[in-house]
Amino acid sequence: MQNDPYATPVAGNYSNPSSGNSAITQGVLQQLAGTKPWVRLISVMMFIGAALLLLLGLVMGLMGGAIASASKNPMFSGGMGIGIAAVYVVMALFYIYPAVKLWKYATSIGNLLNSGTAIDLETALSHQRSFWKFVGVITLIIISLYGAIFVIAMVAGGIGALSGRN
């Protein structure tokens, strides 16, 4: 390739990376375009799941008080229904953040498909990274809780076995 200052400029599929408009291949855009509807679907399903959990929490809270007052079963006394309702509300809150991140990721994919700029690709990937970071942290917390429950169950079983010998 010659460096001819008098040659006609050629438009290529490249630009200055420092300008934020570096080239994004059609293959990348096609893959992200194919991903966008599925990301949006999962996001909507997570919002629906969060709404159902909030509704169930509300119903459990309202019914929990009525069941506790009408029941002679000690299991329902002490606001167990309200405790279960609180668990449902907390679970719903854990659905909302990743649903928002997936929604923003799908929106950013749409912006990228319209503009084709590296800035929009970075924004989309940032939302995707935030989603997976949240999922990873929650996964580690759940695995830790399972481990703690396992250890507590083993200790309680050992204590129960030793106390049965007397």
Q: What is the DSSP string of 15-72?
A: --GGGT-----HHHHHHHHHHHHHHHHHHHHHHHHHHHHHHHHHHHHHHHHHHHHH--
Domain assignment present for 21: no
Residue 16 lies in a domain: no
**11 within a domain of the structure (yes/no):** no
Cα atoms in the Cβ-side hemisphere of radius 13 Å centred on 150:
6
Distance CA 144, CA 142 (A): 5
Look up the domain containing 54 and give its range.
26-130
Q: Give the count of domains, the chain.
A: 1
Residue 65 lies in a domain: yes
Residue 113 has what pLDDT? 94
Is 144 within a domain? no
102 in a domain, yes or no? yes
Asked if residue 6 belongs to a domain, the reply is no
- Three-state SS letters, 66-87: HHHHHCCCCCCCCCHHHHHHHH
pLDDT value, residue 7: 66
Per-residue pLDDT of the chain (166 residues; tens, 9 = 90+): 456 766 666 544 444 444 444 578 999 999 999 999 999 999 999 999 999 999 998 888 877 766 666 666 665 555 677 788 888 999 999 999 999 999 999 999 999 999 989 999 999 999 999 999 999 999 999 999 999 999 999 999 999 888 876 5
What was the pLDDT predicted at 117? 92
Could you say which DSSP state residue 164 is in?
Answer: T
The answer to whether position 4 is within a domain reads: no
